Amino acid sequence: MGLASFLAAVFECGRVSIPPPNLNADDQQVEEVRSCLEARGRALASNFPGEPPALNLDVAFWAAQRLYGASHQDCNGRARSN
């Protein structure tokens, strides 16, 4: 499961079964992740009261990578063995 699939599952239902990570995204995967983050940003902005803050895709991408990486660690920061 790549980062884009991980984010889509989290956004859709909030629960994800996680196989071992693939943290090396190619250009196509990066574009899929950015597209997913942009779509989520638009959805959240449409429900925001008043003027929503601008989406910073670089920060959102960084945070998504951290969340994805953390989902593959135990509570002591060690990589999980699946």
pTM score, two decimals? Answer: 0.63
Question: CA 42 to CA 66: how far, in whole Å?
Answer: 22
pLDDT value at residue 13:
79
pLDDT, position 10: 83
* % of the chain surpassing 90 pLDDT: 32
Q: Give the count of alpha carbons within 13 A of 25, CB side only.
A: 20
